[in-house]
Amino acid sequence: MNFTYFLFFVCIVICTLIITYWAARRSKTTMQFYTAAGSLTGVQNGMAIAGDYISAASFLGIIGAIALNGYDGFLYSLGFLVSYLVVLFFVAEPVHHLGKYSLGDVICERFPSKNIRILMAIGSFIISIFYMIPQLVASGLLLRLLLDLNYSTSVLIIGSLMTVYVVFGGMIATSWVQIVKTILLMTSTFLLSLIVFSYYRWDLMTLIEEVKLGTPLGDQFFMPGHLLGSPLEMISLYIALVLGTAGLPHILIRFYTVQNVQEVRKSVLTASGIIGVFYLMTLVLGLGTAAVVGYDTLIQQDSTGNLAGPLLAKALGGDFLLAFVAAIAFTTVVAVVAGLVISATTAFSHDIYHHIIKKGKTTEKEQLRAAQLSALAIGFVSTIFALGLKNVNVTFLVSLTFIIAASSNLPVILLTIYWKKFSEAGAIIGMILGLVASITLLIVGPHAMNVNDGLFLRDPIINLYNPGIIAIPIGFLGAIVGSYLFPSKELVDYEAFYIKAQTGIDVRSVDE
């Protein structure tokens, strides 16, 4: 391995371990472990949300998608960004007011039932794990290409780092690793964008002309329609993207890490500001890749285009810049997977162990120990899975998580907060139907059923890469119809619940 690379990696690993050491000394209670005891400011939390959200798939994948497909590559980013409005308006504040550590807390505030908690925990767990494994697999392949490490070593390094952060430093370490990642990522993409512009003497028209020369699409590069064929596919993707974020447990539990709703709003606004600027810069980098590196070189190195960012850095600044970008990609991966480990851990140790198995009767010390052990187990098991899945294309799992989040978690969260007639049975039916529908549609769709390289070598039954447009209505309808068929027997005081969800004022406790 090249010495420059080695230096950057050691720097980053040491820096994050110092953060973890510092965090470990402040992570003595369950409250601190799960939510950093609400100690973050809105801006810090916003940076952590951005760090949690911008995965290696965004950093590397979107630059590649733009470089290869032009306009359509950019469309993905827009949906990811606009989704924060849904989070801001309808979900973030109620989640902060109602829950304590997990998403299950939010729903159980209205329907205090064992079944709901188990289901919410399973949903969060599945989403977090399905999101984490592709990240680990991709990072293994990435580090292999960038650093000449073999696949297993790369996965083991990232797997053990994420586990160490969470087990010892809990939410505090995770948050700060994510904040550091956001700062590094934003400064480096900014720097790279400037270099791209200066490379073409700050003349946008020259850049555009060079892009047209660098890609086989020519003039058509800047026109829509190269990635998403049918209108239905495009609309379906757009719906899943905009609704997905509001159902992602690892994003939503971040709203427990701040003190009050003003800080919650500030978090979302900061995050959407950072993410928006980031996507604008990936556009510049995508164009830069098409112009400087060119389509042929890009596709030759890696047919998915995932190496666009690193190749661009190498072409512009040689080995040193490449090493820097590779190190940033590495930080990006560890920050995202650490966030997923903590969200899976919360679902397991808080919801399943503390509430269901121990019926809420565990001491503070036992809870913390249980959380740390679960984090260790989750980190270990996911790493093993990622090691085994080396040769399987698991990227489709990422789109699956967005669809599960939008069709299973989101209907239940929204209807619990906003619909008076929602019932416990409706919640259970909606959640299960949404989950089953998304998984089924994915299995019978072209990701799994594909004549060329699918799991099943045949034509897909439903030819939609993005089945959100079918799965999401099924989740919502299931929840609504279920509530009408099996209405709640005892009427919960919805008005009091709603006031608490929106304002944090607990009318019931005031009355007593």
Partner 1 sequence: MENYEKWRHARKSFLIKVTIFAIVFYMFLPIALGFFPNFMKQAPFGVITYAWIFAFLQIGMTWIIGTLYWFKCRKLDAMVQEIRREAIE
Residues of the shown chain interacting with partner 1 in the complex, contacts defined by CB under 8 A: 71, 74-75, 78, 81-82, 84-85, 88-90, 208, 222-225, 230-232, 234-235, 237-238, 242, 261-262, 265-266, 268-269, 272-273, 276, 279-280, 499, 502-503, 505, 507, 510
Output the smallest distance, CB 136 to partner 1, in A: 30
Give the separation between CA 115 and CA 170, rounded to whole angstroms.
Answer: 27
- By C-beta, is 231 or 360 nearer to partner 1? 231
Give the separation between CA 378 and CA 325, rounded to whole angstroms.
Answer: 29
CB neighbour class for 212 (10 Å; exposed up to 12, middle 13-18, buried from 19): middle
62-92: buried (b, 16+ CB within 10 Å) or exposed (e) per residue?
Answer: bbbbbbbbbbbbbbbbebbbebbebbbebbb
- By C-beta, is 190 or 385 nearer to partner 1? 190
Tokens of 349: 């140790």
Output the smallest distance, CB 399 to partner 1, in A: 16
- By C-beta, is 76 or 165 nearer to partner 1? 76
Output the smallest distance, CB 140 to partner 1, in A: 33
Give the separation between CA 26 and CA 404, rounded to whole angstroms.
Answer: 35
Output the smallest distance, CB 210 to partner 1, in A: 14
Q: Are 407 and 475 in contact (CB under 8 A)?
A: yes
Tokens of 86: 């849904």
Output the smallest distance, CB 175 to partner 1, in A: 22
- By C-beta, is 186 or 322 nearer to partner 1? 186
- By C-beta, is 6 or 89 nearer to partner 1? 89
Please identify which residue in the block is written with the tokens 């120990």.
Answer: 369
- By C-beta, is 2 or 503 nearer to partner 1? 503
Which residues lie closer than 8 Å to 473 by C-beta, 6 or more apart? none
- By C-beta, is 179 or 237 nearer to partner 1? 237
Q: Are 146 and 329 in contact (CB under 8 A)?
A: yes
Output the smallest distance, CB 246 to partner 1, in A: 13
Give the separation between CA 129 and CA 461, rounded to whole angstroms.
Answer: 27
SS3 458: coil
Q: Are 133 and 384 in contact (CB under 8 A)?
A: no
Output the smallest distance, CB 295 to partner 1, in A: 20
- By C-beta, is 99 or 468 nearer to partner 1? 468
Output the smallest distance, CB 74 to partner 1, in A: 6
Output the smallest distance, CB 92 to partner 1, in A: 11
145-168: buried (b, 16+ CB within 10 Å) or exposed (e) per residue?
Answer: ebbebebeebbbbbbebbbbbbbb
The candidate with the shortest Cα–Cα distance to 135, out of 338, 391, 324, 344, is 338
- By C-beta, is 72 or 424 nearer to partner 1? 72
